[in-house]
Every structure is written in C-alpha cells, then in structure tokens.
Chains A and B, each alone.
Chain A
C-alpha cells in the first residue's frame, strides 16, 4: 500500500472525527480505526527500499551461459560487476594491466549495465610516486572507457579492489580521490572494496574517498594457517568484526561468498587453489585419501583440477554452505543497512549449489 493512499485514509479519518456525532460506540469504533490506521501509516512510513541483488564476474572470459542468465533474471539483477583487468607492478614498465578480460560475447542480458572492477596489487600502490598514481588513474579510466565502448557495454561505474596497507594508504587514497573526480565528470559511480579489518578500525586505517564501499564478507581466515578450517568464511571471526563498531562513514553494500575451492599445500606452503572441482570430485578421486573431515592426502602423483599433484600434498576443502550464508546475512543485517548485495561470483559450476529462491530470500533479513 503506498504512502500516499494511507495518508489519504488518515486525512479522511480525521475529517470523520470532526464531522460525525460523537456516540460512545462510534467513539470506540473511531479509536479502533485510529489504532489500525496508525499502524498502517507507520508501517507505510517504514523504509521498504528494495535491496538489489547483483553479481561479480571474475572469470578471464565473458560469455554468460543460460544458467547464469537465469539466476540473474530470477534475482532481478541489473548490474554486473565485471572484472576488467588487474594492475600489477613490473620492475621496468612500472604499473601495467594484466589479465585483460576477453569478451567473447558482450551480450550480458538480463544485466543492463556493468561496473568495471579493477584489482590493483598493493605493491603497485606502494611502488608508485604520487605523480605516477595520478597518471595511473588516467590510464585505468581510459582503458575502461575504451573497452566498454568497443564492446558496447553500458558503464554505470568503476570499482577498485585493493587490500591497501598502512604504508600504501596515502597513495591509495590519492588514487581514489583522482578516480572519484574522473568518475564524477563522467557521471559514473565510484566505489572501493572494504575489508573487514578496514571496516572495524576505520579510525585507524582511514576511509578512502569514494561514493560507496563494498564490504567483503569473505577470505577472512588465514589460508596458510595450519589449523584453519575455512579461510573463506569463519562466522566467529565475523562476530568480532561486527561487534561494537561505529557506523562506517561511507554508504555500504555487501559482497557475499558463493564459491568454494580446495586449498593445496605442498612442503608446508599453499601452492594452488582448485576452484574447478567439487567436494564430490575429491571424495571420488582414488588417488586421494581422506585424513580428516574435509582434508585429504595425495597418494599418487597425478593431475587433478587442472594442476599436477604430488604424493604427500595435502588438500583442504573449503566451501560456504547456504546455511552459513544465511547466518552471515542475518548477522550483517542486524548491524549494517544496505541497498545492495553482490554475490561473488557468477559461475555456472558454483551457483548450482545455491537455489536462487534461497538467495532471493536473503534480503528479508533487512525487513
């Protein structure tokens, strides 16, 4: 029921109060109606702004398949957060783009627009001078605009993903400031990803100059940790970050994990992340022996998940169950108001684990 209609009822009701004879039963009736209308009116006044659900696309090639389009359609996703390229530091060439997105099919329906996402390594920010940072902002935006134009992609905004540190903060904030200005001139939004520790301790880490922040609710644990069970999502750690936190100075959206991988450790070090396989693949692999829940040891050298595994390698399966996504969302909803959630990331193999009806329901934690 829209606010206007309810307000109309309220005015009529007030009019009735003044124009009708006051009998006891009438007054009682009026009181009941009054309460009813008050409830309706205040419910109507409650903000029922829709929470959009969108997706990150992080693959090297853009070519959406039917399942991916279906999910986007069912969730009424309009915006595709598309990784355009990464930026890394080369000793001779300085900051260079790498991992350029190959666009096999630029038809992204039902998505209507893209936000170009650029991942920048922290060392790029550290190794650049302030002048180089400003020039980098120009290069990044020019490349984004060319790519979008050449492939007829409707660009809605630019997002930077970088886990900046204390040492790189000044340069990173300069980059953000420069990019924000360029975006503003082009009428584009500018956003940055925010890690949980940057969210929690923003008074120390600082807040980058952006229109909004995307709070990354994954990759929280220590992937190298001997005792780590799941480096993607640890709900107990989430609690600590969300507790007793002041309001973040930027409007926030959240990024939720819908991915999984097997962490491969060799000679005490993480060497691969296998994201092309499922837990079933691990269980059914005759060359792997289960040594603990979700942990396996390689018994024979062989190829698996696209990499070569050696005897004695250890694999640790990490995934995010729907139940845990729901718990995560519930926790976040009680602390952070949002207008959008973005799932990381859109991949046929991954999204099959999460019925889209369930993903749709996640928004209700805010109502």
Chain B
C-alpha cells in the first residue's frame, strides 16, 4: 500500500506536471530532417557554399569534412609547389601527421646526408623528392620550423590548458618567423614565414604586432596566394580584439570570399554590432561583390531572415550566385516548418510559426518574380521558376504551381533539375488526389519507391492516410502512420485491421502496411490482440476461440491467482501462466464460487485485480504499462466484488484473520476506483502542489477501510496492516 502511494504520486505528478519537469525539452532529440527536405539545395550548383546549406546542425557537412577541406587547400598549394611530383597522401603525412622527431630525421637525411633508419619516412614520396630531385633546404627548414610552432598553435587535446609560458614562446617564434621571412628567397616560403609570424603574434595576443606584421610583410606582396588570405584572417581577428569591428568584418568578408579553407572560420568570426560599423564596413568595400558578401554572411546566420539580404544583394548584383544559394536555403527553412504537417501530420513548429511562414511565402514569391524579370542565365531561370512553383505548392495552390512549372523548358533542364521536377510533379500529384483507388495507389507507390526518396515516401504515407480516412478505409489510414507498437498501445480498429489482414490479395503498398504488423503472421498477431480485448471484457468463450485460432499462446511471468498486500509490478516471479490457461482457471474458479467457496472468490478477486493496470499480471490484458499515466484496463470493481464476497464467506466460516485480509484487499481495489473517479481527480488537481493527503479519503471509496477498522481491530492482520499501509494507518488514526 505504501509503495502504491509512492508510485501513484509519482504517476499523477509527472502526468499533470510534465511542463515543470523538462523531460523532452532537455532530452537530446534530433529529428530526421531528410524526411522534410524536398527542394534539393545542391541545385544552386555552388558547392563552395555547401557548408552553409540549410541544416539544423551547425553546418550542412560534418565538421570532420570541413576540417579536411581546410587541409586540402594547403595540400594543393604544396603539391603545386613540388611540381606535382609527390602524392597528396604522403604530403598529408609529412605536413600533418609527422612528429618533431620525424622532422629531425628528415633534416639530417636530406640536408646533412645522414642515414635514414625509418622505413616509413624513407618510402615517403616527399622525402624522396627532396633527397633525389630537389634538395629544398628552405622548404624543409620552413616545415621543420612550423612543426616546432605546432606545440603552441595546435592543441590536440581540447581539455588541455594553454601552458603558462605559451604567450612568451609564441612571441619568440613570431619574431623568429619574421627574421626568416626577411632571409627567405622563394616567394612561396616567404609567404609562409610571413603567415606564421602574423599567426603566432595573434595567438600570443599581441594584436598590434599582428596587424603591423601583416601590413609590413604580407600586404606589400602583391599576390593572390591563398596564404595571404589566411594571414588576413588573423589580422581581422586582431582588429576585432582591438575594437575595430568594421575593418575586421570587412577583412573577414574578403577572406570568406577568397579562401575555402577559412570560409567557415571567417563566417563565424565576422561580427558587426552597430549600424555605424555596418555602414563603415560597406564603405570599405571596393566593389559590389564585396558588399554582396557582407549581406550574404549576414543572411546565412541561422537566426537571420534571408529575404531582406537577398533583396539587398539583388540591388547590387542581380546575377550574383549568392542569390541561388540563399533562395534554396530559405525554402528549405520554410519546408521544415510546413512540410511535417503534410507528411506525418505532426510538426515541430507551433501554430503561430506556421501562420507566420504562410504569410511570409507571398513576400518571397514577389521577390522571385522580380528576379525572374531580369534573370538572363537559363540555368538560374530554371531554378527560380521551380522556386516560384514550389512557393505555390507550399501555399497549397497546386494549380498555380503547375502554371509556374509549365514555364520551364524541360528539354533544357540539367539532369538534377529534371530530377527535381519529377519530385515536384509527384508532390503535386499527391496533393491533387481526391480519391485513392487501388490502381492509382499502386502506380504512385511504385513511382515513389523508385525515387528512393525518404521525404517523398513520408509525404505519400501522410497523403494516403488522409485519403483513406476520408474514404472510410480505417485500417489502411491507421497503418499508414502507425506501427504494431501503436496498435498494441492504442488498441484501435482491431476488427478493421483483422479484416484487412484477411484479404485474398494485396497491392504493394498494402503489403508494406501489413509488414508493419508482422512479416510472417500479421493476422494471427491481430487475432491475439482481439482475443486479449475479449478476455478483458469477460467474453471468455470468444476469447478462447480466437486465441486458439491465432495459434499464439504466450507464456507470461507471474501467478494471477496469488495476492500481495503490497503491489509489486516489476518483481521477478518464478511461476508462469498463459492467457489460455488463465481462461480455464477462471472457469474452474467460477464454478467453485457458485458453490460459495471463499477461496474461489478470493482467487477470482486476485485474478481480476492482478490483471488490471495495478497488478503484476497486467500483461494478461494489456501490452503496455506506463509509469506516468493509467492504462486501458483499470477497472477493479469486479475484484472488489469478489473480495467483499470472500470476506463475508470467511467471516461466516469464523476465519476472522482471512476475513480481515480480504477486507483489506477489497479496500485496495476500492481505492483504485477512487483514483479514477472525477471527484478525486478534481481534488488532486487543486491540491497538485500540496503533499497533504486528506483528499485521498473520499468516504464513498473507503467503505472497506471503515469496515476493517470497525470490525477487525483485534485481528493480527489489522495490526500488520497498520504497520504496512500508510493510508490505512492514516485513516485509522
């Protein structure tokens, strides 16, 4: 009884108060966003901005890939420098995976002609190139120097604290790099020493020096080499630390445009805080492309709106490829809000957000139309026409969408664009369906399966479910969005599902639906569920017949005929039973009960108690038991009836101890009825935040407690009950 109180308080409080206990809001939950992305972001054909395609992760690509891209840019530079005579893999090993010890060996081997007792290094094409083709002392000295600096510039372990003397060492290395810059002959190496000098000064937090070094060493080198832009990023960082935000933002925007390796970091670092700084940054731009970049960077910030930025870019550069990418990004964002509602009928946005996005689409559409008036490039035109049509689709105007799509010259579309149009056409076809007949269903199903598109499949299921619902085909409607797990919990439409599972033939989609129940014997599974529901209703004969028909007779843990003073749902039990033998037990006991057997009444009470939500044998009558809310089978009235009768019979037979026990069991059943009563629930809601339990003693549900108190005070059982049951001891006080 005490345990019952505890889990019941837990259950009710969690159920009613789930908004004060952040369960889902704090749980790590990442929906499968691919289910709702229909407009392919790759259509912008601007892979340099791929990381910034719309995504709910920080970036569209994983950060490992982004890091690899950064390395690749550097490796390409070195490969060209080495006349393409070395392998990229070996370069990567030498530059990124070697240790200081490896470099000492390489230096000794190449420059001092000492022997190299390292097979791996000896076989490396870069080492071989230096040893046999071009003894490039400058390059070796540079890379060896860069490796030394790594100790302070590359922290492999994110948990490591910066060493206390790091700043001094970084500054010393920066000065060393500056010296070597002066003496370096090859421009390629000079550039890199300059970059190291700037970078090390930045990490040493000597921001003035960082800026000075860039201006004195690298700016005069009139080169478009990528390393210069890497160094520029450090200058931009230093400027930001010194509060020169406008110039900093401008330089980060330049680096963003020029360097693929530093695009992500420039995007993250480019920060403007005031209108003044924004105007200043714009005024520093040398041309419209640079200005457009600033608007672009602002537009791709996850929280920002894209349309105003697109309009600004369009006024500067109507043909800018930024626009294509922004358009797709914005539409993907809208899809995430609106499409879940059409697919699975659940969504992640609230009604306000849905309404706001619906109101926003016409504005986007106006801009698209404006763009199309001046667009000259056919590929871009095609993309924007598709966007126009898709906007109408999102506004649930399929006719308008078709009109827009009709403007496309399909023959001149790229293969990806053609594929996209097939997706849109299928989506339109789905949205225009009013009746779903088997041949249409089969045709659409096969078409969508062939696309291998998760999003289309999900949309198809959602559309079919709505249509079947409208057509009264409850089983198919239900199965379109549910699984066997849902069927067992919800226990809806079982008869319709059995009828569906009894068909002679199936379409491909229907076969897929059936397989959601079970791949081998879906009908048997459903029959077993139906039989369980019949058992729960007390229809033993029909239940038994159906259990036998299904051929399923699961072995369950427990003994429904035994009683427990303190309920234990999850205790392990040695005894087992099946639903079929439970039926025959009930029959036997009912026959004995008709002859006024107290024991039979007792055991029947136990069966009808234990097989409810409140007892350990709940699996006899249900498939799922929540610890947060009451299940489907909670009626303890029959159990109460049998217990009360058994108590009377025991009393008559002079067995007061057993009578007391049975009265207590009846009180338990009665209490469960109380918990489900409207009166109690209302009281519980009012006293939600209170730990008092006076409202737990609704008189009409405490008759057995009262009887126990009045008549069995002098029994041993009574005394034990006072000790064991908190409610009873409170009642009897």
The residues of A with any CB-CB pair to B shorter than 8 Å are: 89-93, 96-97, 122-123, 126-127, 139, 142-143, 146-147, 150, 163-168, 196-197, 200-201, 203-205, 222, 226, 240-241, 243-246, 266-269, 271-272, 301-303, 306-308, 310
Contact = CB atoms under 8 A, between A and B. Distances in A.
Given A150-B164, A240-B689, A268 B23 contact: no
B161 A143 contact: yes
A167 B21 CA distance: 11
Interface string B1-45: 000001001100110010111110011100000000000000000
Contacts of B22: 163, 165, 197
B164 A200 contact: no
B275 A302 contact: yes
Most buried by A among B14, B26, B278, B690: B26
A268 B356 contact: yes
Contacts of A303: 272-275, 277-278
Contact of A96 (B10, B19, B158, B355): B158
Given A204-B9, A310-B308, 20 more contacts: A139-B159, A142-B159, A143-B160, A163-B26, A164-B26, A167-B23, A266-B303, A267-B360, A268-B350, A268-B353, A268-B355, A268-B356, A269-B353, A301-B308, A302-B275, A303-B275, A306-B273, A308-B272, A308-B304, A310-B304
Contact of B159 (A126, A143, A269): A143
Nearest to A123: B28
B691 interface: yes
A20 B214 CA distance: 96
A301 B306 CA distance: 13
A168 to B, nearest CB: 8
B26 A122 contact: yes
10 contacts: A93-B158, A196-B20, A201-B20, A204-B10, A268-B349, A268-B350, A268-B356, A301-B308, A303-B272, A307-B303
A286 B26 CA distance: 38
B352 interface: yes
A126 B691 contact: no
Contacts of A243: 689-690
B670 to A, nearest CB: 26
Interface string B242-286: 000000000000000000000000000000111101100000000
B156 to A, nearest CB: 11
A99 B6 CA distance: 42
Nearest to B64: A92
Nearest to B163: A150
A303 B349 CA distance: 27
Given A201-B21, A204-B10, A266 B26 contact: no
Most buried by A among B20, B63, B304, B356: B20
Contact of B27 (A126, A142, A150): A126
Given A122-B26, A303-B278, A150 B689 contact: no
Nearest to A127: B28
A95 to B, nearest CB: 9
Nearest to A224: B350
A139 B357 CA distance: 45
Interface in B688-710: 689-692
A201 B13 contact: yes
A362 to B, nearest CB: 25
Contact of A310 (B305, B353, B356, B691): B305
B353 A272 contact: no
A93 B62 CA distance: 12
A91 B353 contact: no
Contact of A245 (B20, B62, B349, B691): B691
Contacts of B10: 203-204
Interface string B588-632: 000000000000000000000000000000000000000000000
Contact of A167 (B20, B27, B353): B27
Given A163-B22, A244-B690, A303-B273, A226 B352 contact: yes
A244 B692 contact: yes
A257 B690 CA distance: 26
Interface in B100-138: none
B50 interface: no
Contacts of A147: 161
A201 B160 CA distance: 38
B305 A266 contact: yes
B689 A246 contact: no
8 nearest A-B pairs in the assembled complex, by CB-CB distance: A268-B353, A123-B28, A146-B161, A268-B352, A271-B303, A122-B26, A306-B273, A244-B690
Interface in B344-361: 349-350, 352-353, 355-357, 360
Most buried by A among B159, B275, B356: B159
Contacts of B298: 308
Nearest to B63: A92
Contacts of A200: 20, 689
A280 B728 CA distance: 61
Contacts of B26: 122, 163-165, 168
A150 B161 contact: yes
Nearest to A272: B303
A102 to B, nearest CB: 9
Nearest to A196: B20
A241 B688 CA distance: 11
B689 A244 contact: yes
Contacts of A246: 691
A122 B27 contact: yes
Interface in B649-676: none
Contacts of A164: 26
A91 B23 contact: no
Contacts of A240: 689
Contacts of A222: 19
Most buried by A among B22, B62, B164, B690: B22
A142 B357 CA distance: 48
Contacts of A269: 353
A196 B20 CA distance: 9
A313 B531 CA distance: 57
A166 B158 contact: no
Nearest to B67: A92
A268 B347 CA distance: 14
A248 to B, nearest CB: 13
Contacts of A127: 28
Interface in B301-355: 303-305, 308, 349-350, 352-353, 355
A266 B307 CA distance: 14
Contacts of A245: 691
A267 B356 contact: yes
A76 to B, nearest CB: 31
